[in-house]
Amino acid sequence: MLAFIIPLKSRQVSDSWIGVSQLFERCLKSVCQQSGAEFRVIVVCNERPAISFHHPAVSYLEVDFLPTDLSFPAKGLDKGRRIVEGLVAARDFSPTHIAIVDADDCVSKRLAGFVKQHPESEGWFFDRGYLYKARSPSIYLRRKAFHKRCGTSHILRYSLLKFPQEGAENRLELNQFYNEHQHISTRLEQRGITLQSLPFIGAICIVENGENIYQKSFQQLHHVKLDPISRLKDWRNFRRLTPEICQEFGLYRLEKISAGV
């Protein structure tokens, strides 16, 4: 069984709580449209967002901590801490695997069913994935190293994961490990754990939505060279956002929300 962990930022550090809530609701709908019924979702948050969508597989874990400041490192460690809290809470559901999902992204509806078919696997990284600029009519296929750019990019065998020790001696190390998704595969390889490449596209990373912590722009995320030849070659990775893609990932258009609410 696959457990999804969604770390959700607090209202206090959001540019727009309405915007955060709308992005999260779309993410949650996407996760919960799994074609297989054997999954759970754990949302780690300070306060529950006001959304209309509910699902019996979803649990909310409310925490009382916040980032120490509004810098990128502090926000990253806060996110990592939320992930660790969610991983500990997942024990109650005895998952075979966990997937960490950024609260503004969308995932394939095939993930839970695929995990059920491979319960003994050590896990997968998402080498390929879609990048979507909010409210765009097109989508971009990143063909390599998607897991280096997007936090929604790994499925890990639960029994192989590390958890906080008594006295929380390794708490900071774990917060960094789970937040720094670009290093997860390499660090697990150093422990003798080899992740496989997911054989299908597992996620859509959504940028320029007003609430991204790190890669706030499409250009920053996909790192294509700006010379004319490279840009021309890169056009082959853009494609029309089809109803089939929207249906598989639960992606739908959100209207632009003003900041501060």
CA distance linking residue 83 with residue 154, whole number of Å: 13
Q: How confident is the model at residue 257 (pLDDT cuts 50, 70, 90)?
A: low
Q: Tell me the pLDDT tens digit for each residue of 81-106.
A: 999 999 999 999 999 999 999 999 99
Q: How confident is the model at residue 146 (pLDDT cuts 50, 70, 90)?
A: very high
Residue 132 class from Cβ within 10 Å (0-12 exposed, 13-18 middle, 19+ buried)? buried
Residue with tokens 């909310």: 60
Within 13 A of 230's CA, how many CA atoms are on the CB side? 6
- pLDDT of res. 160: 94
207 neighbors 131 (Cβ within 8 angstroms): yes
Residue partners of 257: CB distance under 8 A and separation at least 6: 16, 18, 19, 22, 210
Q: Looking at residues 159-185, what average pLDDT do you find?
A: 86
Residue with tokens 């490990």: 177
- pLDDT of res. 134: 82
214 neighbors 72 (Cβ within 8 angstroms): yes
> What integer best gives the mean pLDDT of the chain?
89
Q: Looking at residues 25-49, what average pLDDT do you find?
A: 96
* Beta strand 154-157 pairing with 123-125: antiparallel
49 neighbors 17 (Cβ within 8 angstroms): yes
| pTM, rounded to two decimals | 0.90
- pLDDT of res. 15: 86
When the candidates are 3.90.550, 3.40.50, 2.30.30, 3.30.70, the CATH number that belongs to 2-249 is: 3.90.550
CA R_g for the chain: 18
